[in-house]
Each structure stands twice: as C-alpha cells, then as structure tokens.
Structure 1
Amino acid sequence: MSSWEVQRSFDELGRPLRDITFCVVDLETTGGSAEGGSMITEIGAVKVRGGEVLGEFQTLVNPRTDIPAFIAVLTGITNGMVSDAPPIESALPAFLEFAAGSVLVAHNAPFDVGFLRYFADQQGRAWPAFEVLDTAKLARRVITRDDAPNCKLSSLAKAFNSPTTPNHRALEDARATVDVLHGLMERLGGVGVHTLEELQTFSSRVTTAQRRKRHLAEGLPHAPGVYLFRDDRARVLYVGTSRDLRSRVRSYFTASETRSRMGEMVGIATVVDGIECATALEAEVRELRLIAEHKPRYNRRSRFPERVHFVKLTREPWPRLSLVRRVLDDDADYLGPFSSKKTAEKCLAALHDTFPIRQCSDRISRKPGAGRSPCVLAEMGRCLSPCDGSVDETTYAAVVRQLRDTLLRDPDEVVDAINARMATLADDERFEEAGHHRDRLAAFVRAAARTQRLSALTRCPEVVATRRNDAGRWEVHVVRFGRLAAAGVIPSGADAVDYVASLRLSAETVRTGPGPVPAATAEETEKVLRWLESPGIRLVDVDGEWTCPVAGATRHLAVHDAVNQSRLSLVPFSERRELTTVHQPTR
C-alpha cells in the first residue's frame, strides 16, 4: 500500500477532537443587526485544546455611538466604560490574530460570526477560512428536556455544572460556552463521536426505517400546497406546507430532515396526503386552518389559536383595564390577541405604570358615595381613586382618553414614561428592576403595533391584490375583513379583468365581527399582511380605508426587535433526541 493511500485512509477517519484547537468567542453589541447599524461593544474569547485552556482574549470596544438604555440594562456596559476603549478597527485585527488556526465556536454562531465578518468586510480584510461550530445548534440535537428546560446558554451551563454563570459579558459567556462545548463532546463521546467531522455531521443521521418510506412522496406534485402525514387509522399526525410538495415530503426520508421527533412521526406514518394550492400564501393559510382543525400532535405551533388573551379598556362610568379571553360586541377597545397570558400581563403592567386608572373590578356608580377608604394603590399615587370621590368624572375621563389614544394611535406616552424610568434605574445600577420595565415596554409596543396593523386590514370589507410570481404569472388574492377569501393565478392568455372578476364572485363570503381580528386568526391575518406588504404588490381594489396611524407603535419596533435579538441566546428545542450507545468493533 502506498503512503498516499495510508494518508488518505487516515484522513477519512477524521480529525480527533482532542487535537483540535477551538476558539470560543462571544460578543456584546448595541443591537441585533450589524447591517442595520449595530456595533460591537465587547469581544471575549477562550482558546482551548484537549480540555486545556491555552489563552483568553477580552476587550471592550468603543462603538462610537451611544449605547441604548435597553442594552446597558442587559449587559451592564455603559457609555463611560467604552469611552476610552479601542475602536473595532483595532480590536478586530487583535482578535483575528488570537483566533488564527482555530475552529471558531459560539453559542448561536451566525450572530457572533456574522458581526465579525461584517466588520472585517467593512475594513477590507479577507475573512480567514475558519471552520465554525455552533453549540446551540449542536445542543438541539443532543440535549433532551430531561437535561435542561431549553437550549439557552444559562440553562446549558447549569446542566453541565459550569462554574461560570453567563451574565451577558463577553468573556464570562465565552467561558461558560467552553464548559458547554466540553459537556456536549463528552456526551457525544458515549455514542461514538470522536472527530470534528463526526461532531459537525452528527445531526444529519437518518434511520434506515425513514429512508424505506420514500415511496410515500411519489404521488405528490411539484407544486405549492399542504401535506398531511396520517397513521394507519387515518389520524393526522403532522401538517406542513411547501412551494414544492413532492420535494419537501421526500426530504423527510433523506438526510436533509434531521429532527428526531420528525423521525418518530415518519415511523408511525403510513400515508401522506397532498392538497395542491394555487399560491404559496394559500398553502400557508390552509396549513394554519388544518392545524387548528386537526390539532396534530407532532405540530408544535398554531394548534390552539383559540387560547388567546386580550387587554380590554372597558366602557363604563369609570373605565378600567381588564384581561379577557374573548372579544365582545360591547364598543370597548381591545389590545391583542396575546398567545401568552404572561405577555399580556406584562403589557397590562406597562399601561398601569403610566396611567393611574383604577385596577379594581368593583362596579362603581357614576356618583360614588363618600366615606370609602382609598386603596393602597391610591395611597401610592398609582390610582386616581374614583371609588372614594378623590377624582371628578371630567379629570378621570381625560386620562382615559389619553389611554385610548395610546392604545389605538400614539404609544409615545407609555414609551417615554418607561424609558425615563429605565434610565433612572440604570443610573442607580438597579439593572434587574430596569429589566422588568424593559420587558413590559417591549410587550406593550409589540401588542400595540400588532393590533394597529391587524385592525387596519380587518376594517376593510375587501382588498384585492396581485403580484407576479417567479414563473412570471400573476397571483391574485381576495382578502375580506383580514381573512383570505380566494386565491388564484391568471392563466396565460386569459383576460386579467375577467379572471379577477370571476375570482371575486367565487370567493368565500366573510362576515365581520367585533375586535381587532374578527374574521380570521391573528396568525392568518399576519401572513396575509406580510404578503400584501411585500415588494411588487399591486392593489387592484380596496373597499374601505386601509391605513395605519403615522405615529403608531410600529415605528418603535426596530429597537425592541434589535434588543430581543441581542439577548436571544435561547434556541428552542428543535426536537427530542434519545441517544443510544454505539458499540465499536473490537480489534
């Protein structure tokens, strides 16, 4: 055997993990998008090989811009701390020199590596040919819910008994990620993963039983639509959607489908039904409706659209805010829906922090009797206390009008009040308390923006729009009160006006109702909105007035979304994986 053949055989075995130098890196930033203007404020890294720490790297970075209060609360890094720090033009070359020759590792690597590559490109630096390993992605394939509640870095660090607690400071988080990396490698060592190549491809394993069922996809068309996996009793196990039904369903039986829970589902399935749809949007909407109807056990989302909450501003002599499960035809104002009661409560708290209206549920007459004692909230100055006659009807009504305007049109009063409170708390280094207010504000802004956008569309009896698809043909959708009522593609050579008229005549009859999303689920209307707001849309006809307030909550979303992205070290469990021992052959 030649030396070349010996070397090739050795290479095919892969590079032993014990011989690999890993550079585990973590960044702190001013937001979630480098392309959107966010800057790096800190770089931390740890270089390890064979379980031994070879070196550490840490530097603050001057972002040349103010650090938002939200970020200061999250990381504890203030403008004063970075004022004398080196700029990214100096910090990045130093880090690249430290990391040279290593395999880069990060928890949610696309975020950290994406920032580093962006600024390397901005400086005209060639990006080194780093191999990258994502501990979050790997953990999704390895860790079960019995090990940790989620794949957040803090949860994994605790599960692997790391002596370092992640705290959104770069070096500390990098040290914790090292412990997570070593914990994952130790766990996988028990199932025969000993090389970098095996570690990188571990999630691509597919059972032989899955591959045997490829024939279930053979009868499906290469067209957009919805597919339903069924068991031997015709019960729906899973509902999905694709622009190419046949190709997508085939992927469940090949290496491109790696979710272990889906492998379990495929093992049970005996039939796959396909429903061809005229457009991708129609397929997405049908998927939502079928999931809500069948509630398949292997679908994680959208199974219970009825389980929602709303924040309600009541219509009574002394209005109040209330958390409710249903929208009534009672002329009240509603904010929502919220899929989580906890989020709805945060939004409610943000409003109560700003507007001192009553929080009790008592029925109070228009002229309450004297002699009642004020409640604790009134004594704290957080309630105008109409129950004991402390406020007159005109003054209370003025506050309610401000609150209603905040819900429906302009959220600035809540945004300004809570931002000021957060800034004060941050100055006093009461970051945890400020964080609670940050979460409340984010919950309110998202809810207000969502409600304003959904309400704008659901007020319209009909919207007809069209867009040219990738094949050059015109897709047409008829939307009534926020619900998709018809979808089609104008045939080649057909008269467009006649086709649209015919589609409108055959469209579903939709009746409006009370509340912000009366004719469809919020998730469906949001999908329709995203399509209507996509590039290339042409409005054929709008019955009604489709507008959103210029000073509405949507303009505040960018900062909250950026903050959320920056703090998202949470990666939800993709699926559960049961590990089995791989028996190595004896020599």
Structure 2
Amino acid sequence: MGVEIGVQGTLDELGTPLRQVTFVVFDLETTGGSHLEHAITEIGAVKVRGGEVIGEFATLVDPGRPIPPFITVLTGITDAMVIAAPPIERVLPAFLEFAGGATLVAHNAPFDVGFIKASCQAHGYPPPANPVVDTADLARRVLTRDEVPNCKLSTLARVFRSATEPCHRALADARATVDVLHALIERVGSFGVQTLEELKGFVRAPTREQKRKRHLADGIPSVPGVYVFEDERGEALYVGKSGDLRQRVRSYFTASETRPRIREMIGIAERVRPIVCATGLEAEVRELRLIGSTKPRYNRRSRFPEKVVWLKLTDEPFPRLSIVREVKADRATYLGPFSSARGAEDARSALHEALPLRQCTERLSARVRRPACALAEMGRCGAPCEGRESADDYGRHVEDARGAMEHDPGPVFSALEARMRRLSDEQRYEEAAVDRDRLAVYVRTAARMQRLRSLTGIPELVAASPAFDGGWEIHVVRHGRLTAAGVMPRGAHPTPFVDALVATAETVTPGPGPLPAAIAEESECILRWLDSPGVRLVRVEGTWSQPARGAGRLKERIDLAYKGRDVRHPREGRPLR
C-alpha cells in the first residue's frame, strides 16, 4: 500500500490570486435613478485579466420610453440615437454571456447591479450570481480626505491619471473605472491583499487601533442621546447621535466601520462622552447644536451654520437681486439659505433668465438717470435707469420675482426648460447642462424654504409620537426651534403633562426672515419627525400650510432626473448620490 505524502500549499492557493481573476468592469446609462421606474439606455463593459484588456462590450438600448431632457443633457443620449437600438430583452442575454462567471466591477455598484437584476427578473433570467466589487467602496476604504475630496469616478480618474475621462457614456466610464480599479488594487497590495477573497473582505476588516480602543465603549448606556469622541485634552473630535448610544458607539470598533477618516479619528480618541436625551429627536437636535458650537474636525456637515448665504430682492425704489450673508428686519424678500455664494449665484441667474430685473448694482431713483447697459439692448432689462421703464412697470417684474421666490417657481421653471430644450436640439449640451444645474439649485432651494417657512411661521406647536413602552414622546416647537422634549408615561393624563412641558419650554424671541429661531437643519429634523408615522398634533398656534403651487411639485421632477447619477451639483459641491 502506497503512502500519501502531504504537500504544504503556497499562499496563492489559499485564494484566487488577483492576477488570475477575470474582471468585467461595466457601466450603465439609464432614463433615471430607480430600477423600478426607469430603463437602461446604454451598456458598456470591459473584460480585463492580469491588467490586460481582453474584450469590450458596448451598445445603446431602446428604453421603450422617451428620454427625459435632463438625462439627455447629462449623457448626450437622445431619443433619435436609441430609436434603432435593440431593446433590453435582446441586449441582456448578450451582456450576461459576455460577463460569464467573471467578477463584476462597477463604480457605485448597487445602482448598476440593481438595474441588471431588475432586467433579469423582468425577462425571466436568473439574477447574476457573480462576485461584485464596488470601486467606490474600495476607494473609501483606502483613500483619505487629504488625498481626494470625494470618491466620485471623475475625481478618482483624475487623481489616478486615467487614460479615459468619464463623460457619462457607458463604455468611456467603464474604461475609466478599469484604470481606477487597477490603481486601487496596487494600493491594497501594500495591505497584503493578494487574492479576490482578501479584496472582498478588505473593506470589512477592523484595524488594530479599532481593536485596541474597544474599551472606550464600556459604560455607555443603552438609551437615546449624543456621543462625543474627545482627545486627551478634552477637545471634541466627532459628535454623533443614536437611539441606542451603547450599540452605536460599540459599532465604531468593529469591522462595520470602514470610513478611513473615522478610523483615523478612533486612533486619536481617548474617551467617549455620552449625553443622555429624552427622545431621538432631542438627540438629533442636540447633535446639530453641538457640532455648530464645537466644530469637531472629523464632522463634515453642519460645522459652520453661520456661513450660509441668501438671495435678497432688495428693498429700494428699483429692487434687484443681491447675495447677502445676513437676513435683516426689512421689507426685502429672501430666498435661501444656500451653502455657498456659487449656489446663490446660480439661483439668481435662473431668475434673471426668466425675469427682466436689472442686474446693475447702483442705487436708482426716478430722478437720477444713468446710461443703459447692453442688457437693455438685448431685451433682458427694461432700462429703468434711463427712464424707459416706469416704476410701476418695473414693479410688476418685482412682484413676479417675489412670487417666484416665495410661492410659485413655475414661470422660471418653464422659461429655463424651454431654453434647455432649444439648446439640446442644437446639440449645445454643455450650455444646457449649466441651465439644468442652475434650475435645480433654484427649485430645490425654493422648495426647501417654503417647507421650512410652513413650520417656522408657527409660534408654538406641540406634537406627540408613540414611545416603545406604550407612553408618548412629546415635543414643543416654537418658530421651528425645539424648546422642550419629554416622555409621558403610559396611562398618565396628557393635559397636565403637556401643560408642564410647555411651561418649562425655552422662551423664543423670533428674529427676521424664514429662519427666525433655528438653523435650517434643526427645523428640517423637526419636519422629518412630524412626517413620521404615528405623530399626532396636540396643539398648533396659527396655521400650518404651504403654497398650493409651490416648488415641491417641481422638485420631484428634478430629483427624479438626478437620482442615481454619479454627479454632484457643480455649484453647491455636494454629491447627489
């Protein structure tokens, strides 16, 4: 009988070496952001192995429906381009055959994979069981904020000097993603990642520092509240909130925490300070207020609420649109807040495109005449400076602007939509894209302000929501500011409890403008809570309403056009995805 001799395997045999893995890097263009409501218009894919391209797949797809103008502006794909293209039921089997058993790679993979799975389900194909690698997730794991401002495909392609520039066309974006993938694989090699299995598990592995600092979660209570990570000097590094402080703080020291910046913060932190709150809403509001007051360096949002800007329709004989940092107690009309002056400038440009308001900065009067500028000759201003337009005639434009800022943005939306269609028909997509983004800023800001004003105009509102133990969470809100929070025990009589909570609530003296008592983020937190299931109004002083033809109806159209796209708003600088 022979003796079987065991042989120790090599390290490569413990997994599939990355140099032997076949990757199919793909990208989709679609008619919108939801695979439940929208369709694929283009598929592009590149098959690579060992750093070499071994095949490409690219085709337009007939979505079976019109392509929205916003999407045409974004991608350059028109209805005419896809009219002769094959439908998805003919394209899908070819793409699945091309992918085979390879590892699928996409940037923001849930978006692209979601559309492929939905198409498979709709046409009787089993969903692909291929391994999936998301280059966006991988980039967030290995890159720091000091290296890249964000993990958008366009940013990473620029940082890694991709040979292809992403342009929202499927094959070009897939080629750029290939370059990004190879660059990221080089980065993770320094962490000892050599196999596909190690690559997939890399984003889930806790660091040595996370393991060493787990004791910081000891003694944290399991209640709603705010937690503050502090350094050895007691300086706030990071502020967060949770409905269960203990569970949330413990998650920072596990594999589920993959953000490089937060892992860096954990290495500096020496203690975690809990602040117990009565309700989840109180915790959310306290978090915002603490971030604004302490400005922790590892928090990204809401650190500088005082730096917002406003678009002001001035209070003068011939009003104009001005960008300001302060809301005053005057008769001017304000639109905002904007996170940057560039966003306010976009909204102003949108209004100027639709309304012939003057754009000069001099103070005008009926007695002082000045030479008209070129805008008058272009028909974009009635030249009140020269007396060509009377104060009454100009006043009608002012009222239209005031209505568009506060009530109905429809006329501005229609004017810019018509201009976008004309530019798109002329294939001037870049100019149309500028108008698209300006319109998006204007409509979103108007919708946000109208929603905020519906709450901040109420002197006092008391509302309640069911608590887990059968009691009620009660909140008192004055002019959009949370002034008291408490939990009424089960079986208690509500009237004395509410009366006591109102009596001890913070006194609020409202200031001017749409945000008289709190920052926008705090009032938005309250609005989200008021919209949640089970919330009941107990008392409302005044009326709670929004304009019947307000901006919210138009914001839905804009959000659908942007949803799921790998773009960020160029003026506001925030990712839309």
- In the alignment, structure 1 residue 230 sits paired with structure 2 residue 230: yes
Shift of 1:26: 0.5
Q: Is the alpha carbon distance of 1:552 and 1:569 closer, same or farther for their aligned partners in structure 2, counting shifts above 3 Å?
A: closer
Number of corresponding residues: 570
Aligned to 1:578: none
Q: Where in structure 2 are the equivalents of 1:410-425 lying within 5 Å?
A: 410-425=408-423
Q: Is the alpha carbon distance of 1:295 and 1:144 closer, same or farther for their aligned partners in structure 2, counting shifts above 3 Å?
A: closer
Aligned to 2:17: 16
Shift of 1:291: 0.8
User: What does the per-residue CA deviation read over 1:181-208, in whole Å, with 9 as the maximum and x for residues that have no partner?
Assistant: 1111122223321111221222334333
Q: Whole-Å Cα distance in 1 between the matches of residues 20 and 306 of structure 2?
A: 54
CA contact (8 A) 1:312 1:334 kept: yes
Q: Is the alpha carbon distance of 1:199 and 1:378 closer, same or farther for their aligned partners in structure 2, counting shifts above 3 Å?
A: same
Q: Which moved more, 1:442-451 or 1:202-211?
A: 202-211
Q: Is the alpha carbon distance of 1:377 and 1:462 closer, same or farther for their aligned partners in structure 2, counting shifts above 3 Å?
A: same
For structure 2, the residue ranges without an aligned partner over 5 or more in a row are none
Aligned to 1:577: none
Amino acid at match of 2:255: A
Q: Where in structure 2 are the equivalents of 1:320-469 lying within 5 Å?
A: 320-365=320-365, 367-370=366-369, 372-469=370-467
Q: Which moved more, 1:56-65 or 1:518-527?
A: 56-65
Amino acid at match of 1:368: R
Aligned to 1:488: 486
Q: Whole-Å Cα distance in 1 between the matches of residues 93 and 375 of structure 2?
A: 56
Q: Where in structure 2 are the equivalents of 1:44-63 lying within 5 Å?
A: 44-63=44-63
Q: Whole-Å Cα distance in 2 between the matches of residues 404 and 8 of structure 1?
A: 76
Q: Where in structure 2 are the equivalents of 1:217-256 lying within 5 Å?
A: 217-256=217-256
Aligned to 1:33: 34
Aligned to 2:283: 283
Shift of 1:118: 2.1
Q: Whole-Å Cα distance in 2 between the matches of residues 510 and 380 of structure 1?
A: 49
Partner SS state of residue 32, structure 1: coil
CA contact (8 A) 1:29 1:566 kept: no
CA contact (8 A) 2:279 2:487 kept: yes
| C-alpha RMSD over aligned residues | 2.3
CA contact (8 A) 2:117 2:128 kept: no
Shift of 1:307: 0.4
Amino acid at match of 1:402: D
Q: Whole-Å Cα distance in 1 between the matches of residues 64 and 539 of structure 2?
A: 48
- In the alignment, structure 1 residue 92 sits paired with structure 2 residue 71: no
For structure 1, the residue ranges without an aligned partner over 5 or more in a row are 575-587
Q: Whole-Å Cα distance in 2 between the matches of residues 94 and 451 of structure 1?
A: 48
Q: Whole-Å Cα distance in 1 between the matches of residues 466 and 67 of structure 2?
A: 43
Q: Whole-Å Cα distance in 2 between the matches of residues 88 and 404 of structure 1?
A: 47
CA contact (8 A) 1:45 1:58 kept: yes
Q: Which moved more, 1:331-340 or 1:555-564?
A: 555-564
Q: Is the alpha carbon distance of 1:354 and 1:543 closer, same or farther for their aligned partners in structure 2, counting shifts above 3 Å?
A: same
Amino acid at match of 1:443: V
User: What does the per-residue CA deviation read over 1:469-496, in whole Å, with 9 as the maximum and x for residues that have no partner?
Assistant: 4554422221110111112222122223
Q: Whole-Å Cα distance in 1 between the matches of residues 241 and 190 of structure 2?
A: 37
Shift of 1:166: 1.2
Partner SS state of residue 328, structure 1: coil
Partner SS state of residue 306, structure 1: helix
Q: Which moved more, 1:383-392 or 1:255-264?
A: 255-264
User: What does the per-residue CA deviation read over 1:81-105, in whole Å, with 9 as the maximum and x for residues that have no partner?
Assistant: 1112222222223222221201111
Q: Which moved more, 1:486-495 or 1:392-401?
A: 486-495
User: What does the per-residue CA deviation read over 1:276-321, in whole Å, with 9 as the maximum and x for residues that have no partner?
Assistant: 1121111110000011111111212111100010001112211111
Aligned to 2:309: 309
Shift of 1:570: 6.0
Q: Whole-Å Cα distance in 2 between the matches of residues 219 and 516 of structure 1?
A: 42
Q: Whole-Å Cα distance in 1 between the matches of residues 278 and 8 of structure 2?
A: 55
Aligned to 1:512: 510
Shift of 1:267: 2.5
CA contact (8 A) 2:71 2:561 kept: yes
Partner SS state of residue 188, structure 1: helix
Higher relative contact order (CA 8 A, sep 6+): 1
User: What does the per-residue CA deviation read over 1:224-259, in whole Å, with 9 as the maximum and x for residues that have no partner?
Assistant: 110111222222221111111111112222222222
Shift of 1:116: 1.5
CA contact (8 A) 2:472 2:490 kept: no
Q: Whole-Å Cα distance in 2 between the matches of residues 179 and 523 of structure 1?
A: 39
CA contact (8 A) 1:311 1:348 kept: yes
Amino acid at match of 1:568: D
Q: Whole-Å Cα distance in 2 between the matches of residues 537 and 228 of structure 1?
A: 29
- In the alignment, structure 1 residue 67 sits paired with structure 2 residue 82: no
Shift of 1:378: 1.7
Q: Whole-Å Cα distance in 1 between the matches of residues 391 and 453 of structure 2?
A: 30
Shift of 1:410: 0.7
Shift of 1:429: 0.6
CA contact (8 A) 1:292 1:304 kept: yes
CA contact (8 A) 1:228 1:273 kept: yes
Amino acid at match of 1:422: M
Q: Percent identity?
A: 59
Aligned to 2:192: 192
Q: Is the alpha carbon distance of 1:213 and 1:161 closer, same or farther for their aligned partners in structure 2, counting shifts above 3 Å?
A: closer
CA contact (8 A) 2:144 2:260 kept: no
User: What does the per-residue CA deviation read over 1:353-382, in whole Å, with 9 as the maximum and x for residues that have no partner?
Assistant: 1111111221212x2345x32112222222
Amino acid at match of 2:19: R
CA contact (8 A) 1:151 1:570 kept: no
Amino acid at match of 2:436: R
Q: Whole-Å Cα distance in 2 between the matches of residues 56 and 399 of structure 1?
A: 55
Q: Whole-Å Cα distance in 1 between the matches of residues 502 and 149 of structure 2?
A: 49
Q: Is the alpha carbon distance of 1:569 and 1:195 closer, same or farther for their aligned partners in structure 2, counting shifts above 3 Å?
A: farther
Shift of 1:552: 0.6
CA contact (8 A) 1:368 1:389 kept: no
Q: Is the alpha carbon distance of 1:399 and 1:569 closer, same or farther for their aligned partners in structure 2, counting shifts above 3 Å?
A: closer
Q: Which moved more, 1:274-283 or 1:303-312?
A: 274-283
Q: Whole-Å Cα distance in 1 between the matches of residues 183 and 518 of structure 2?
A: 46
